[in-house]
Amino acid sequence: MASPLFVLNGPNLNALGKREPGIYGGHTLADIEALCTAEGEKLGFAVDFRQSNHEGDLVDWIHEAGDTAVGIAINAGAYTHTSIALHDAIRAIKIPVVELHLSNVHAREEFRHKSMIAPAVKGVICGFGAHSYILALHALSSITK
């Protein structure tokens, strides 16, 4: 059985494909899930792909992954810039976490330049659209095997 890897998605990512495609691209979250599942199989991972608009769900899933998975790729959406709770949840687990973003957050509004979770993660990938997810899976593969 392949090792489980969680791919967690935060608020408003369920609206991908119709939400500001000039910034976030035309892929839907279902498209990205399919890409991650296929790439995960190639890398030897079973991808557990989830999305919630609720911060507490993400915290619970981080704790769950800490007990059952080998790593987490997380696009925390706007919670990236506001959530001490996500930061603390990531710090509480022993598995590696990679933060990712579809857009280059550093080329956007000033408030998006600060990540509350970046100090707690292994690394950050941003600006490559849906491919940011694939890059995050490869990063996790290189540090979990």
**Which residues are documented as binding site?**
75, 81, 88, 102-103, 112
Catalytic residue among 27, 87, 101, 133: 101
Binding site for substrate: which residues?
Answer: 75, 81, 88, 102-103, 112
- Annotated active-site residue 24? The verdict is yes
- Annotated active-site residue 133? The verdict is no
Catalytic residue among 24, 79, 87, 133: 24
Tokens of 1: 């059985």
Residue 75 parent element (H or E): strand 71-75
Cα-Cα-Cα-Cα dihedral sign, residues 42, 44, 45, 46 = positive
Question: Looking at the annotation, which residues are catalytic?
Answer: 24, 101
